[in-house]
Every structure is written in structure tokens, then in C-alpha cells.
């Protein structure tokens, strides 16, 4: 009886393994996807400069998750819209995204790069330079277009040193 159960379990595992689809492999993105990503990130820069929130949001998937420096995760298109409405309303933004590498896996296109520029408070104050790195994951839509699905950014600056120990 025990042998029947054991062979049934083995058969189940073998059948499941035989029916499983092979995992997609990470590959270099197609020239068309590399060009599409380059156009989109250039448009992101233009949208930030001009405050074109609706144009920017046209590139964003409904299920987007955004992980920006020193901020909680922003989940969903409407939350991202509110984040950028505040961001565009608070700063005059000059930035440039520079993709470094773009790869693909299944219906996802992943790009890594740097974004640098300045944020100038609209309420007054000096420009604040920034130099960040980013990772964006675009998901292919039913119509073949790509939309931002996941994005994370962080500064390229080293962390501030700890405060000096008090002298005794």
C-alpha cells in the first residue's frame, strides 16, 4: 500500500514537471524596445520640465508601484498621479534620464540608468542638484506598447558620515 502511494506521488510530481512551461530567459531587449524606452524616458524629462502630468501618466500602468528615495511605496496609478501632481507643483524640474542597459524577459522590459538634474523650489530657494540611479520595469500591454509597471530610484551620493563622537 505504501509503495502505491509513493509511486502515485512520484507520478504526480513527474507529470507536473513535464507540463510546466520553461521559465523565460533574460535577453537583450530588441532594438525597438531599446528605442521605445529611450523615447519614454526622454518624454519623462520633458513632462517634468513642463508639468505635463497627463502626458506622463499615459506611460504608467494601472498596477504601477513606485519606490522613490525617502518616500513610502506609492502603489497604483492614482497614487502615483497624486505624488507627481505634488512633485510637479512644488518644484521647477530640470532632469535627464540616461539609460545604461535594457533587457527583456517575457512581457517585461527592464532598464537601468541614471537621472540627474536640479529641483528648484517654486516657493523660492536655490536649485537642489540630484544624481540618482534607477531601475524601471515596463510591462508590455495588449496593444504591444510598454507602460511603467515598477520603478525604483535612489541617490548615487554616498551616505553622510556619522556625527563625530563628542570629545572627552
The pLDDT assigned to 4 comes to 54
pLDDT along the chain (168 residues), means of 10: 52 54 74 94 97 98 95 97 97 97 95 98 97 97 96 92 84
Strand locations in the chain (E): 27-28, 60-67, 74-75, 91-105, 108-121, 128-140, 146-155
Task: Map residue 97 onto helix, strand or coil.
Answer: strand
CATH, domain 30-155, list 3.40.1370.10, 2.40.50.140, 3.30.2130.30, 3.10.450.50: 3.10.450.50
Q: How far is CA 52 from the centre of its chain?
A: 19
Q: Which residues, in sequence order, are CB contacts of 151 under 8 Å at separation 6+?
A: 64, 65, 66, 67, 134, 135, 136, 137
The pLDDT assigned to 21 comes to 66
- The length of the chain in residues reads 168
Sign of the alpha-carbon dihedral angle for 51, 56, 58, 63: negative
The pLDDT assigned to 11 comes to 47
Burial class (CB in 10 A: 0-12, 13-18, 19+), 109: buried
The pLDDT assigned to 36 comes to 95
Amino acid at each position: 500500500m505504501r509503495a502505491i502511494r509513493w509511486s502515485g506521488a512520484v507520478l504526480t510530481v513527474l507529470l507536473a514537471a513535464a507540463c510546466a512551461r520553461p521559465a523565460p530567459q533574460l535577453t537583450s531587449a530588441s532594438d525597438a524596445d531599446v528605442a521605445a524606452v529611450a523615447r519614454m524616458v526622454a518624454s519623462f524629462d520633458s513632462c517634468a520640465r513642463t508639468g505635463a502630468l497627463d502626458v506622463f501618466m499615459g506611460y504608467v500602468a494601472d498596477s504601477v508601484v513606485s519606490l522613490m528615495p525617502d518616500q513610502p511605496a506609492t502603489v497604483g496609478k492614482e497614487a502615483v498621479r497624486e505624488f507627481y501632481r505634488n512633485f510637479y507643483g512644488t518644484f521647477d524640474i530640470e532632469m535627464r534620464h540616461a539609460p545604461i542597459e535594457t533587457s527583456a524577459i517575457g512581457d517585461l522590459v527592464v532598464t537601468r540608468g541614471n537621472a540627474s538634474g536640479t529641483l528648484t523650489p517654486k516657493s523660492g530657494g536655490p536649485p537642489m542638484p540630484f544624481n540618482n540611479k534607477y531601475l524601471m520595469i515596463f510591462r508590455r500591454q495588449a496593444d504591444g506598447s510598454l507602460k511603467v509597471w515598477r520603478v525604483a530610484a535612489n541617490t548615487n551620493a554616498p551616505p553622510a558620515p556619522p556625527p563625530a563622537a563628542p570629545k572627552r
